[in-house]
Amino acid sequence: AEQLQWRLTEEDGTKESWLSTIDAWMIPIVGSLVAQEAISRFLGAKSASVARMGCYLASGLYLVLGAIPLVIGLLGHAAGFEAESTDSYLPELARQYLSPLMYTVLMGALVSAILSTVDTTLLAVSAIASRNLVERVARNLPEPRKLLFGRSLTLLAGLFAYAIAASGETIKGLVEIASSFGSAGIAVALLIGLHSKFGREMAALGAMVAGALASFFGEGMPAWFASLFDEGASASMPGWTHGYEGSYLFAVLAALAVYLVIGGLESRGLIGDRKKSPAAIDAPGL
């Protein structure tokens, strides 16, 4: 009987490098630590004990529910099922083994879950940006104007998300970009801020900027932006503008290095205000 084997390969079947393997594991693990659906929930808890228990229960649910698609994939492989595309594996598997009614119900639930996640993400982007940017820059702005800014930010976030989705080649690639872009610096600032008093606001901001810039170039965003206007211009750009392997790993390392450097300068009183509290991420409880 055929046995399942662990093979580190890319989607096109080529052998996967160790940098790509590290990235493939780091993106869902580290990215999930700072996912907005997790942070917004525990910051909105009424006490630290409730937030802690909620995180423990959520981690168990992550493992249980996350094992469902894994089991489905293993069962499909054991049954000899081969999909035309990896992106449509679940719909094709369901269409082959389920009745038309159950297939319709499953696909409706799948689309509903996707739309619910997109809706929550767009609203979270608007809420966090309004809280941390608009209210700090324009403190005396009337409430109707704040509401207008919030709706405008939601629209811009939706357009940006659509542009990324339209440019993606596979669902796996889109998930990797969504989970990795900008999360490296936030993860570094969050983990250090939770477990130590080293570093303050400038260190956290520096780490987030460094992580975002490293992800921007590592994911090949310069070439992608150029391709939106001229495909030929993108092809003629230098190789480093098209991204590189291990982009998320290097983004985390860059964010960590910047945090340590700025944190050291802050601790010596060379920059920043020594009376400020340790760096913390400000987000509304949703």
Going by C-alpha positions, the residue among 188, 219, 220, 222 that lies closest to residue 204 is: 188
Could you read off the pLDDT of 65-119 as tens digits, one per residue? 889 888 988 888 888 888 777 778 888 888 888 899 999 998 998 888 888 777 7
Indicate the number of domains in the chain.
Answer: 1
Parent domain of 129? 98-172
Query: In this predicted structure, what is the pLDDT of residue 79?
Result: 83
Residues 6+ apart with CB under 8 A from 110: 90, 91
Could you read off the pLDDT of 176-205 as tens digits, one per residue? 777 777 789 989 998 998 888 888 889 999
Query: In this predicted structure, what is the pLDDT of residue 207?
Result: 93
Long-range contacts of 165-173 (CB under 8 A, 24+ apart): 167/224, 167/227, 167/228, 170/11, 170/86, 170/87, 171/87, 172/11, 172/86, 172/87
Residue 248 falls within a domain, yes or no?
no
Residue 114 falls within a domain, yes or no?
yes
Residue 212 falls within a domain, yes or no?
no
- Token pair for 176: 């990797």
Residue 23 falls within a domain, yes or no?
no
Residue 166 falls within a domain, yes or no?
yes
Residue 103 falls within a domain, yes or no?
yes
Q: State phi, psi for 220 to the nearest 5 degrees.
A: 75, 30
Query: In this predicted structure, what is the pLDDT of residue 168?
Result: 67
Classify the C-alpha dihedral 36-186-188-194 as positive or negative. negative
Low-confidence stretches of the chain (pLDDT beneath 50): 1-2, 4, 276-286
Query: In this predicted structure, what is the pLDDT of residue 2?
Result: 47
Query: In this predicted structure, what is the pLDDT of residue 76?
Result: 87
Residue 151 falls within a domain, yes or no?
yes
Q: Using an 8 Å Cβ cutoff, are 118 and 126 in contact?
A: no
